[in-house]
Amino acid sequence: MFSLQNRRALVTGASGGIGSAIAQGLHAQGATVALSGTRQEALAALAEKLGERTHILAADLADAEAVDALVGRAEEAMGGLDILVNNAGLTRDGLSMRMSDADWEIVIKVNLEAAFRLSRAALRSMMRQRFGRIIGITSVVGVTGNPGQANYAASKAGMIGMSKALAQEVATRSVTVNCVAPGFIESAMTDAINDKLRESILAKIPAARLGRGEEIAAAVVYLASDEAAYVTGQTLHVNGGMAMI
């Protein structure tokens, strides 16, 4: 079950913690993976670790032109595209009353608009080949909200709504569109949290621990697989029980 042999996947944010785990998970199931991000060295290191069936496609997702070109580059490198994982994301936190236009715009642009542009481009060949998997990495915050993250929560909630609309548009073509919503996942960011804050976070998580990137990757592998063909427009929450929604 869950083989991705002969599947071709593009993963954005593959230079980051969760994205690299996703790329590794897809690759381990047999997929060819195109790794995207802005940090060349991180992408190259991951490609080296994975070995064959990898391609490096650097792109700045804040640049609409680069975004619009990325799917075409992936299709050219791999001979097509079956799986798109919109994982790249950033935060620019601050209370709304003090949030700058720039902080609002960049988060919407990279987290939401780039995901739409990439999905739109990917759908062309997915529709034609009558197979496709589009998976967005959203966040528990997109459903629950979080003070200081109006921009981020909007982008992540937007991704869920967008995915539901896309899912309905293309379902007859065996293209599914779903989201995975991580809770708190171990990362460079969460490693830097002080003990007191860590304790207060853990108190809200029934599993009493942070999640791991591989646990997000496993959800992505499932949604990308043939076995998940009848699952579309859904958001799979992977959060240790911190929000049951």
Ligand X SMILES: NC(=O)c1ccc[n+]([C@@H]2O[C@H](COP(=O)([O-])OP(=O)(O)OC[C@H]3O[C@@H](n4cnc5c(N)ncnc54)[C@H](OP(=O)(O)O)[C@@H]3O)[C@@H](O)[C@H]2O)c1
Q: What amino acid positions are annotated as catalytic residues?
A: 152
Give me the 142-181 binding string for ligand X, x by CB under 6 A, dash otherwise. Answer: ----------------------------------------
Among 4, 15, 70, 177, which residue interacts with ligand X (rule: CB under 6 A)?
15
The full 3-state SS of 5-48, as one line of letters, equals CCCEEEECCCCCHHHHHHHHHHHHCCCEEEEEECCHHHHHHHHH
How many distinct helices (H) and strands (E) make up the chain? 10, 7
**Cα-to-chain-centroid distance, residue 80:** 19
With binding defined as CB under 8 A, does residue 124 bind other proteins?
A: yes
Give the C-alpha separation, 191 to 175, whole Å: 37
* 187 binds ligand X per the rule CB under 6 A: yes
Sign of the torsion angle spanned by Cα atoms 105, 108, 110, 115: negative
Does 128 sit near other proteins (CB under 8 A)?
yes
* Smallest separation (angstroms) from ligand X to the CB of 235: 12
Residues 119 to 138 in contact with ligand X, rule: CB under 6 A: 137
The residue assigned the tokens 């960011």 is 189
Nearer to other proteins, 128 or 209 (CB): 128
Residue 173 engages other proteins in binding (rule: CB under 8 A):
yes
Residue 63 in contact with residue 38, Cβ under 8 Å?
no
Q: Which residues bind ligand X (CB under 6 A)?
A: 13, 15-19, 37-39, 42, 60-62, 87-90, 110, 137, 139, 182, 184-185, 187, 190
Q: Which residues bind other proteins (CB under 8 A)?
A: 124, 127-128, 169-170, 172-173
